[in-house]
Amino acid sequence: MPFYHKLGKFPSKRHTIYRKENGELYSEELFGTIGFDGMSSIMYHVHRPTIVKDIGAEKDVNPIAAISKNVRAQRLRGFEVDPTADQLEARVPVLFNNDVSIQLASPTNKTEDYFYKNGDADEVIFVHKGSGKLRTQMGNIDFKYGDYLVIPRGMIYKMDFDGSENRLFITESNSPVYTPKKYRNWFGQHLEHSPFCERDLRPPAELETHDELGDFLVKVKREGIIYDFTYGAHPFGVVGWDGYNFPYAFSIHEFEPITGRVHLPPPIHQTFETDTFVICSFCPRLYDYHPQSIPAPYNHSNIDSDEVLYYVDGDFMSRNDIAPGHITLHPAGTPHGPHPGAAERSIGKTETEELAVMVDTFKPLKVTEQAMKIADNDYFKSWM
């Protein structure tokens, strides 16, 4: 995150002596990105974070393409992904390329007896159904319906759910996830006209420090393989930290839509960015107010990007026969736009209650085998 945050206790100067009451040193760790040139934080551990006692089982979770060169519009019925007990096993990849993996999950376990670390990717977890607490090395964050949970790569965490009915839309990014540059000034502060600001972002607020040695299972993902690591110290042994690299939450309900007299393009909905794709939030808003405006989007060609829409709630005015949990994919190179009748229906309307998350990638997406099991194979014909 491009702002400074701190939690717990730490010395006044970096890389200096910091002792426990018994005289032993706390273990300092730099948690950074992009070869010491990106966002970083410094954590202080009760015990060394490097104690690994064993590396056991491994599982390949690399997605497998059913369609590696997709040219047709796709619709996936996301709620048809079966609930699965284990939180990691519940993750079902549906679309991917070398930059991003888009997954659905419906975990039913309220918690797990292991911790998780994604060593490959930043994660943006959108909470469609469910609530609970994201527990991390750097502190805890409460979450609920509509929250984005942004978890930087390398962060050890757990998700504790309040109940067993949960639905998640997960975007894994192989490049760092930031808030858009266009919303920030040269110091990194969000500008006055940005649709959200630092006040809306929820960093960790509760530091959970465990002074424990033993056997702690941490599932570590690296190059698409999940390995079972046995750590010798509890991963949540941090007494304090400060810096710019940390997990945070942002509610889609805090996004303040930008509107105009005539229809404005999707970049006004942008919420997060990477070097290879963007994430946008379509939220309830007033429609365009020119007396001759057509609120429904105009037909447009995705020459340079594949467009993915995950429908959360409400009535999405440009589509027919769309329900919560549906995902549509409109591939690059083929024009798309409102379904027949949608543009006419939108004329004279003053507001929309739609809620959706969009992922626009700059490279083509592959469709997985799991996705084809929940696909509507005739969706590409729905503009006839």
CA distance 136 to 208: 8
Domain CATH for 284: 2.60.120.10
pLDDT of residue 291: 92
Helix (H), strand (E) at residue 97: none
Q: Are 148 and 359 in contact (CB under 8 A)?
A: no
Provide mean pLDDT across the span 263-282. Answer: 94
Q: Which pLDDT does position 206 carry in this prediction?
A: 93
Task: Give residue-wise pLDDT tens across range 191-225.
Answer: 999 999 999 999 999 999 999 999 999 999 999 99
Q: Residue 48 has what pLDDT?
A: 96
- Scanning the structure block, which residue is given the tokens 């930290």? 241
Residue 212: Cβ-neighbour burial (10 angstroms; 0-12, 13-18, 19+):
middle
Q: Please report which residue ranges of 224-379 form alpha helices under DSSP H.
A: 342-346, 369-372
pLDDT confidence of 8, banded at 50, 70, 90?
Answer: very high
Q: Which of 22-36, 139-153, 263-277, 309-323 has the lowest mean pLDDT?
A: 309-323
pLDDT at res. 229: 98
The verdict on residue 158 lying in a domain is no
Tell me which residue range forms the domain holding 269.
Answer: 256-381
Is residue 1's pLDDT more than 80? no
Domain membership of residue 225 (yes or no) is no
| 366 belongs to a structural domain | yes
Q: Is residue 240's pLDDT more than 80?
A: yes
Q: Calculate the average pLDDT of the chain.
A: 95
Residue 87, in any domain of the structure:
no
Which residues have CB under 8 Å from 16's CB, separation 6+? none
What is the per-residue pLDDT across 15-61, written as a single tens digit (0 to 9) for each? 999 999 999 999 999 999 988 888 999 999 999 999 999 999 999 99
The total number of structural domains that make up the chain: 1
Q: Is 379 helix (H, G, I), strand (E, B) or coil?
A: helix
The answer to the question of residue 23 being in a domain is: no
- Using a 10 angstrom Cβ sphere, with 0-12 exposed, 13-18 middle and 19 or more buried, the burial of residue 230 is middle
Lookup: tokens for 327:
């995902």
Strand ranges inside 69-131, DSSP E: 74-77, 92-96, 100-105, 115-118, 122-129
17 is a domain residue: no
Question: With pLDDT > 90 as the criterion, what percentage of the chain qualifies?
Answer: 85
Question: What pLDDT is recorded for position 266?
Answer: 87
How does strand 225-233 pair with strand 213-222? antiparallel
pLDDT tens digits for 323-355? Answer: 999 999 999 988 889 999 988 888 988 888 999
pLDDT at position 302? 77
Say what the pLDDT of residue 32 is: 93
Closest of 304, 296, 368, 357 to residue 328, by C-alpha: 357
When pLDDT is averaged across residues 74-87 and rounded to a whole number, the result is: 97
Residue 359 within any structural domain of the chain: yes
Give pTM, 2 decimals. Answer: 0.97
Q: What is the pLDDT of residue 96?
A: 98
Residue 279 lies in a domain: yes
**pLDDT score recorded for residue 316:** 82
pLDDT at 89: 97
pLDDT of residue 320: 83
Distance CA 140, CA 374 (A): 34
According to the model, what pLDDT value does residue 317 have? Answer: 77
Q: Which amino acid is at 91?
A: R
Selected residue with higher pLDDT from 271 and 297 = 271
| Mean pLDDT of all residues in 66-75 | 94
**Range scoring the smallest mean pLDDT among 117-121, 189-193, 263-267:** 263-267
Task: Provide mean pLDDT across the span 155-159.
Answer: 98
Q: Residue 262: its pLDDT value, please? A: 94
pLDDT of residue 124: 98
* Helix, coil or strand: residue 222: strand
Confidence tier at 370 by pLDDT (50, 70, 90): very high
Q: Of 78-87, 230-239, 262-271, where does mean pLDDT reach its minimum?
A: 262-271
